[in-house]
């Protein structure tokens, strides 16, 4: 099994992910000692996101655009080490001899 390349750039973050991150920070400030029920928290976040106006979402969308620029810049400079970057099955050699039953 291949190990993950630690130098590979972190993926782009979407607007909703930035929103959830701020929701989590707000929740921690209000209830620092209370643990978070992930399913319930996610439901509340998604309801808040759907109710958010386009103007309020714009802040998070701008953050996502900036992160996309960061990601594209980092991925251009990234060169995977030997052995990384190949995914999927090996291609079958068309010149290989056929196996008869």
Least confident of 11-15, 36-40, 43-47: 36-40
Q: What is the mean pLDDT of the chain?
A: 88
* pLDDT score of 66: 97
pLDDT at position 101 over 80: no
What is the architecture of the domain spanning 15-77?
Orthogonal Bundle (1.10)
* pLDDT score of 70: 96
Give φ, ψ of 95 to 5 degrees: -95, 0
* pLDDT score of 84: 64
User: What number of other Cβ atoms are within 10 A of residue 17's Cβ?
Assistant: 14
Q: Report d(CA 64, CA 43) in Å as an integer.
A: 22
pLDDT at position 82 over 80: no
- Ordered by start, the domain boundaries in the chain are 15-77
43: helix, coil or strand? helix
84 compared with 27, residue with greater pLDDT: 27
């Amino acid at each position: 099994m291949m190990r993950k390349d630690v130098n590979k750039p972190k993926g782009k973050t979407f607007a909703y992910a930035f929103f959830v991150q701020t929701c989590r920070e707000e929740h921690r400030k209000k209830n620092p000692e209370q643990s978070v029920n992930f399913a319930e928290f996610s439901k509340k976040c998604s309801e808040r996101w759907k109710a958010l106006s386009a103007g309020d979402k714009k802040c998070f969308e701008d953050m996502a655009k900036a992160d996309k620029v960061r990601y594209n810049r980092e991925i251009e400079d990234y060169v995977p080490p030997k052995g990384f970057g190949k995914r999927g099955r090996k291609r079958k050699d068309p010149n290989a001899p056929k196996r008869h039953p």
